[in-house]
């Protein structure tokens, strides 16, 4: 299972990286989202997969899945959401100001 997840992480990283190397702002933000999914997957894999029940004490189990990565990911998801929302509004404003979402065109006038 871990091997499979590792390969999926690699694929998601590849796709995310390829997207943030494009020159359209929306695609860059899409790429960042995919990268964050990949990172979350990576964190949860580090805690070990399927090694017990959900971390709820009411369950009549003695073995729980590692709760620490889950807490970390929960924080990461929220922060990532905040950043994505901000970036989206920023790109929206950039559209309105400059009328383009092409990063090359947004480089500014280098010749004065």
Partner 1 sequence: MSFLHFIVLMPFLATILIPFLYKKWGHRIHTGWFVVFVPLTIFISLLLYLPEISNGNFIATSMPWIPSLGINLDIYLDGLALMFALIISGIGVLVVIYSIFYMSKEREALHNFYIYLLLFMGAMLGLVISDNVLALYTVWELTSISSFLLIAYWYERKKSRAGALKAMLITVFGGLMMLAGLIMLAMISDTYSIREMIASVNVIQDSYLFIPAMILLLLGAFTKSAQFPFSIWLPDAMEAPTPISAYLHSATMVKAGIYLVARMTPIFGGHSLWFWLVAGIGLLTLLYGSLRAVRQTDLKALLAFSTISQLGLIMSLLGVGSAAYYFSGGEQQELYALALFAALFHLFNHSTFKGALFMVVGIIDLESGTRDIRRLGGLMAIMPVTFTIAVIGSLSMAGLPPFNGFLSKEMFFTGMLQAAEVNMFTLEGFTILFPIIAWVASVFTFIYCFILLFKPFFGSLRLDQLPKKKVREAPLGMLVPPSILAILVVVIFFLPNVLSDSLLKPALLSIGPFTSLNEIPFEITAWHGWNTEIYMTIGVIVVGLLLFFMVKNWNSILRIYPDNLSLNSLYNSGIEKMESSSSSFTNFYMTGSIRHYIMYILIAFVGILATAVISLDSVSFNLNFKANVSIYDVSILAAMVVAAFMTLLTKNRITAIVSLGAVGYLMVMVYVIFRAPDLALTQMVVETATTVLFLLCFYHLPKFGKRIEKLPFKLTNFLVAISVGLTFTVLTLIATNHKLYHSISSYFENAYELAGAKNIVNAILVDFRGFDTMMEIAVLLIAGLGVFTLIKLRSKDGDNNETK
User: Interaction with partner 1 in 46-105: which residues (CB under 8 A)?
Assistant: 46-58, 64-68, 70-71, 73-75, 77-86, 88-93, 95-101, 103-104
In the complex, the smallest distance separating the C-beta of residue 112 from partner 1, rounded to whole angstroms, is 14
Using the rule CB under 8 A, is 2 a contact of partner 1? Answer: yes
- Best CA proximity match to 43, nearest among 18, 20, 77, 16: 77
Separation CA 78–CA 20 (nearest Å): 21
Assigned token pair, 32: 């960042």
- State the number of binding residues for partner 1 (CB under 8 A): 88
């Amino acid at each position: 299972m871990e091997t499979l997840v590792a390969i999926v992480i690699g694929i998601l990283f590849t796709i995310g990286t390829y997207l943030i190397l494009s020159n359209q702002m929306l695609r860059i933000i899409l790429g960042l989202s995919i990268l964050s999914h990949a990172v979350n997957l990576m964190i949860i894999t580090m805690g070990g997969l399927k090694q017990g029940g959900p971390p709820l004490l009411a369950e009549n189990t003695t073995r729980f899945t590692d709760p620490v990565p889950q807490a970390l990911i929960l924080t990461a998801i929220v922060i990532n959401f905040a950043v994505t929302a901000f970036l989206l509004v920023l790109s929206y404003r950039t559209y309105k100001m400059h009328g383009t979402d092409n990063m090359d065109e947004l480089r500014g006038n280098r010749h004065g």
